[in-house]
Amino acid sequence: MDALQRLIDADAIDRLNNRDASLYCEEFDNRIPIVQRMGWTDLASKASGRFPLLENLAKAILSEGTDDLVLLGMGGSSLAPLVLSRVIGSAPRMPRMHILDTTSPLAVKSLLDTLDPNRTFFVLASKSGTTLEPLSLYAIFRQWMEATMLRPAAGRRFIIITDPGSPLEKLRQRELMRVTLSAPATVGGRYSALSMFGLAPAALIGIDVPTLIERAAVMEEACKAPAEQNPGALLAAWMTDRYEAQQDKLTLVCSPTLRSFGLWIEQLVAESLGKTGKGIVPVVEQGISIPTGYGPDRAVVVIRYADDEDLRTWSKNVAADSPIFELVLSDPYDIGVEFLRWEYAVALTGFLMGVNPFDEPNVTEAKKATTAILAGESSAPRASADLGGTWVTYAGGMAQPTTEPTERIEALRALFGTLQPGDYLAVLAYLPEDETLLMPLRTATKRIADATGVPVCLELGPRYLHSTGQLHKGGPDTGVFLVLTTRDHTDYEVPKQDFHLSALHRAQAEGDLVTLAAHGLRVMRLDLPGTDAHDIAALVDDLATAAGTS
């Protein structure tokens, strides 16, 4: 029986819209946490009541002199604002938005060097109010602000988005921050794009939130229709049919200005469906040069604008050999439509796959490992070799070669040699989001994919820990992992903590290394001496050579 018919027979659409947790769990006591995450299905229809507050707040911060808006968040608290800022962007004369979802000291320095504290506002976003990364960043930026203005004035330049009654709300009161914007407690982070987590940052940079919501509300209503006419159900059925045909590498190919949307889909799919040994692996094409053909494990979703003739032609050509699902947007505000389509589709796919799409059981493992390393209670596996300044570590299912490599290329060949049909390679790079560094790596990942026939994902740490990290540990044992870290000297004290930012950044990489190894996964770490263009260019050359492309 195909997936669409199973949705019909199970009355899955009505049950989802009625927040019936039995869709995902038979045990009554275990349904409560699921119900507490199903409050996203009517966000669009209820959004209009928030418009006056958002409009007034946007006018207020603009009147106080604002050039830049910095969002401090991770995962679901940051990815929707990132998409909206890159797809729609700031309105004329409205603040520029900067998304800081990293603990990289280099990224913090790069941003601080561009900001004027007297013309900058901050949004501190955390659903739980306890997320380590944004709280650490807040402490750094708050200290920076107070170096140039009095404490109350500095506090008024911070806006909070969190769940009602969270520890962050209590911190706001103690620290004299401006205002708390509450998001529904029944909405999980990755389903929160149309809650305050997505809409407030959008409004503060002048995005037309009523138009965004108007488009989304149309899709929200469409996703209540019978399965045969339901856009979310049709996408869910297609993904499930492809998954059950062993086409589990969901390849996302987007028009250039829509590529950031791939990151949001990546989190939604990976964190919702990658658990209990199951999972659909999202592969976000990096856009350097889209391949002309794919292996048998690929299912391709094309997300394009109606006037993107290049991608339309490419899609028609690839459809001859690979399954294609095409989504066409008329303009940037249709991104509101797609948020809803994908949320419904992934929730329904979770039912069809037999997984709970509203939990993330393996995410806390890496968090606990990070905390243990920071506290000195644990440590990462020791490097086995120093190859010209690069420290190499083999862990988990990646056995140390019987003959120790003397060059970095040899070590990489050993890792690539473990790749099998059906696998994917994830390059987990703890680097700043700097295209002078990342563009060469994007090129390298494409060359590796072409040479090995295996999908290659480039993930930025620690961002991926709140996204694909769940899939890596909880999904199928088909991942091979290359962790890239660096030994830079840029650093910041984290006020009121007994660690510095660089220690946190490294501990997150090492905590994930420990966790991947504990699951017996194939993982290798390369710890580079630095993060300048020369270091990355040399690594890119070695990656290409090791993969057999040069």
Task: Report the amino acid identity of residue 145.
Answer: M
- Is 363-546 a domain of CATH 3.30.420.40? no
Q: What are the φ/ψ torsions at residue 533 (nearest 5 degrees)?
A: -60, -35
Q: State CA 57 to chain mean position distance.
A: 27
Q: Give the number of residues written for the chain.
A: 550
Please list, in sequence order, all residues whose beta carbon lies within 8 angstroms of the beta carbon of residue 112, skipping any fewer than 6 positions away: 144
Distance CA(394)–CA(375), nearest Å, equals 24
Residue pair 191/343 in contact by the 8 Å Cβ criterion: yes
3-29+223-353, CATH topology level? Rossmann fold (3.40.50)
Sheet holding 158-162, edge to edge: 96-100, 68-72, 120-125, 158-162, 179-182
Return the ∠ at Cα 103 (arms to 100 and 106), rounded to 5°. Answer: 85
Secondary-structure breakdown of the chain: helix, strand, coil percentages, each rounded to the nearest 5: 50, 15, 35
Sign, CA dihedral 62-65-69-70, equals negative
How large is the greatest C-alpha to C-alpha distance in the chain, in angstroms? 67
148: DSSP letter: T
HEC string for 410-457:
HHHHHHHCCCCCCCEEEEEECCCCCHHHHHHHHHHHHHHHHHHCCCEE
Answer CATH for 43-213 from 3.40.50.720, 3.30.70.1350, 3.40.1010.20, 3.40.50.10490? 3.40.50.10490
Q: What contacts 56, CB < 8 A, 6 or more positions away?
A: none
- The per-residue pLDDT string of the chain (550 residues; one tens digit each, 9 = 90 and over) reads 699 999 999 999 999 999 999 999 988 888 999 999 999 999 999 999 999 999 999 999 999 999 999 999 999 999 999 999 999 999 999 999 999 999 999 999 999 999 999 999 999 999 999 999 999 999 999 999 999 999 999 999 999 999 999 999 999 999 999 999 999 999 999 999 999 999 999 999 999 999 999 999 999 999 999 999 999 999 999 999 999 999 999 999 999 999 999 999 999 999 999 999 999 999 999 765 666 678 999 999 999 999 999 999 999 999 989 999 999 999 999 999 999 999 999 999 999 999 999 999 999 999 999 999 999 999 999 999 999 999 999 999 998 888 889 999 999 999 999 999 999 999 999 999 999 999 999 989 989 998 999 999 999 999 999 999 999 999 999 999 999 999 999 999 999 999 999 999 999 999 999 999 999 999 999 999 999 888 999 999 999 999 986 5
Q: What is the CA radius of gyration of the chain?
A: 23
DSSP helix/strand/coil, 18? coil
* CA nearest to 102, candidates 454, 493, 470, 462: 462
| Torsion angle, alpha carbons of 180, 186, 189, 192, to 10 | -80
- Quick count: other Cβ atoms within 10 Å of Cβ 180? 22
Task: Check: pTM over 0.95? Answer yes or no.
Answer: yes
Bridging pattern class, strands 424-429 and 479-486? parallel
Beta-sheet pairing, 390-396 with 385-387: antiparallel
Is residue 57 a contact partner of residue 203, using CB atoms and an 8 Å limit? yes
Task: Determine the number of helices (DSSP H) and then strands (DSSP E) in the chain.
Answer: 22, 15
Sign of CA dihedral 436, 439, 443, 448: positive
Do 363-546 and 3-29+223-353 have the same topology in CATH?
yes
Reduced to 3 states, what is the DSSP secondary structure of residue 312? helix
Where exactly are the structural domains of the chain?
A: 3-29+223-353, 43-213, 363-546
